[in-house]
Amino acid sequence: MQQKSAMKHIILLLTVLIALSSCLGRGAEPAQPVDLEQIRERGRVRVITGYGPIGYFIYRGQPMGYEYELILRFGEFLELPVDLVIAEDIDHMIELLNAGEGDLIAYRLTVTAERRELVEFSRPLYFTRQVLVQRKPEDWRTLQRRQLEAQLVRNPVALDGAQIHVRKGAAYAPRLRNLEREIGGRIDIIEAEAQFSTETLISMVADGSIDFTVADEDVARLIGGYYSDVDVQTAVGLEQQISWAVRHDTPHLLAALDGWLEQSQRSADFFVIRRTYFHDDQGYRHRVDSDFFPVNGGGISPYDDLFRRYAEQIGWDWRMLAALAYQESRFNPRARSWMGAVGLMQLMPATARHFGARNLFDPHDNLRAAVAFIEWLQQYWDVRISDPEQRLRFVLASYNVGQGHVEDARRLASWHELDPDQWYGNVDHYLLAKADPRYYNHDVVQFGYARGREPVEFVERVLELTEHYRRFAE
């Protein structure tokens, strides 16, 4: 089976946190300070973020996004695995942070005086300004430039009496209240609930559901560019800092974050990430128009219905079966590995024949045989590993490398007085060791050499992807 791990040093576990705001009093302090030293003792860094078509999303089965990629790199810098904590909106992010549910907020936070009282901001990632998002007149294509400009709001004074919808918890409503005072007028500011993202509000301007919204200029230009009848040229404020945030009582974490940012901002990688997610209009258009973009209600893959159908047969969440398929073939039914594995689920021909597959390039036939193989593996391990969570890891590893190599690793674990029924730190350790002649030539080993890193990373990646998929697809 081919191994498709995207990371070597980081295991990203997605924690889907559904918490009521009333349970987490705003600004509440955690029981005791948790700075970088305590985070290292814990062995994981917990990062609060949000999801959307720029910061964190699934596209054609792959987790992606501006914040997502930077979070991975910060975890690598700290040499710590990352747990993602997903919040509903910015207010929720701050609540979670100050309640100790996360260590930092990795999101595009506008630095304001009010927020400085609640959190400690990092050095800025970049600067942007807030702009008005408005709809062009219906006949704008036939108008001369001067005529078009005359029908658009170019002076914020003209917003006196206007109704403007903005995302709740963002810095837009305070800016508009300041603008009210500056122009000596009245603006009807409607703060939309969390389910109405900035991206959604821009689309509502485009379709005529609302007249105006406000967005950061970089976001407005990217998303506004998708809608030809939307204008984002009118600024409603000066440039502001966009930063991440930590609690006030974590100076060492802040110093590490600032040091990483200072180092990263001099790298081409940092520039490429920003350009990928904020300046690639075509890439954004392809994502939004795709049938496989769950943020917009699309599916994970072309085979979601098949995954749902066959997952029931083995008692799996269909999203785990989808994650396994993505990890094996990137949902490519014509895929071939260098070892000879074929098709959507990357079955070896002999295995496929044994479990009834006739056409390995047919996704239905390939998946049916793969599920029969998984069912056999579950029965095999059911009588050997009593704990269901542990057993799942043995099944996944066996799917990738074969149960014989996994049994070798169990025997090595027993020989070295570790637990042969526990995956982490026990069997996985000796599966990795099977690439070393000191271990694969051991008397208890029956199946010889194995590229143990592949199945170990395969298990982690499938479980990680499953958590991502659960967040974005029902």
Catalytic residues: 328
* Locus of tokens 């049916």: 368
Q: Please answer whether residues 10 and 72 qualify as being in contact, where contact means their C-beta atoms are separated by less than 8 angstroms.
A: yes
Q: Which amino acid is at 419?
A: D
Q: How far is CA 389 from the centre of its chain?
A: 23
- Which residues are paired to 131 by β-bridges? 215, 235
Helix (H) or strand (E) holding 166: strand 163-167
Which phi and psi angles does 433 have, rounded to 5°?
Answer: -70, -15
